[in-house]
Amino acid sequence: MGLEYCPRCGKLFSRTVRDICYNCHQELEKQYERVVAYLKEHPGLTLNELAEATEVSAKQITRWVREGRISIAQAPNIVIACEVCGTPIREGTMCDSCRRRLAREVKRVQMPKPAAARKNEDAASRDDTYHITDRLRDR
């Protein structure tokens, strides 16, 4: 827990759980309530129409969609971009193809190495270490 400057307003605040000060957090919550209330009345809006009507930035609305605070049921026409490739998606941060590609890469990295590669690594690491027998032999 330390003192930091709020990235939104620049005021000094004691950082605990949130990345922004209490006043900015309260302001964002009011904006969120305004967006959700407007969506209930006008469920067919796009992201830009909603941002313009509520005077809340499209970036902030996108953040709420990614966090799951605004659901697809509340906003059937809101589409955001995949953070990796930019493909339009409805929720989350990545499209299905990027998610599958990431899962394949993680699986590939986690696979055990072939025995020959492990043996070569073990031999190389043995050569890099200095054992007590080496010190006694050098005398």
Q: Where are the domains of the chain?
A: 26-137
Cβ atoms < 10 Å from Cβ of 16: 8
Task: Tell me which amino acid residue 69 is.
Answer: R
CA distance 65 to 59: 10
What does the pLDDT read at residue 87? 92
What does the pLDDT read at residue 137? 64
What does the pLDDT read at residue 32? 96
CA distance 22 to 86: 33
What does the pLDDT read at residue 115? 62
Across the 139 residues of the chain, what is the mean pLDDT of every consecutive 10-residue run?
87 88 94 94 90 94 89 81 90 91 92 67 60 62
Task: Tell me which amino acid residue 31 is.
Answer: Q
HSE toward the beta carbon, residue 125, CA cutoff 13 A: 6
